[in-house]
Structure 1
């Protein structure tokens, strides 16, 4: 089933000269979409998946996003694994949020929880939790996705930019 799901995964091809950040973000988005359509995949151990055409094709597609950006082959695999770990964690959180929201709306949850929070949250003892929590006011999966993906991409960019260029002398 996993190999078949991977085989059917959307694989949007890169345009000529497309920036690597766009390609890598696309891989993240495609994997996020895959896990949204098949949430059971997030419960599987996929570090040693069944080696079929779906798995191999998915891996080839994903690695192509990292090709030519200044990483070694080992680093390309590690960068992909890091990216997919972020996607996996995000998918688990989104599934958890969806499961809770299917049982109780955000408004209903806050109606029950707000009085408890007011009693438990001493603003003098927990000033940061009070300030940040009231600003955020709930779980926002799209904000968390965009911020996390930006951090992953910025981290890769910093690594790549720290490398000497072909014209630099060591």
Structure 2
């Protein structure tokens, strides 16, 4: 980076501080809370969420919901409480990419959130009833006029158990 011209100072701060933790247990310098730039604190949150939710050669994704919960546990330790709260609110408690079981007997992945940061569009890819993959179809949640037929999320599903990966169902 030092060989590049006109790189904003904020970028350097972000790169040098993004592995620091507010409790001082990070690296490379073991900085604590106010010693860490706001850019580094933001980058730490983004980097951690990306690492937790990405498929990697040495480990599978833990999924967006588990990552959300793990990061919440580390609020004030690894991550700045206020910045993490803003980030977690913006991704919703059931983030995009979450694998969920629906009340219609299908399993799908959350594609979009509504203005309240709740899942609004789910791509259905598996039938629990038939224990088989189905042709992908998108369903809008909370759009039914009749509450008896409204499809809702019942629970989180571990996609690995069903042999599902989000990346295979987004195009």
- The TM-score, its normalising length taken from structure 2, stands at 0.28
User: Which has the higher relative contact order, 1 or 2, with Cα contacts under 8 A spaced 6 or more apart?
Assistant: 1
Which protein has the bigger helix share?
1
Which protein has the bigger strand share?
2
- The TM-score, its normalising length taken from structure 1, stands at 0.28
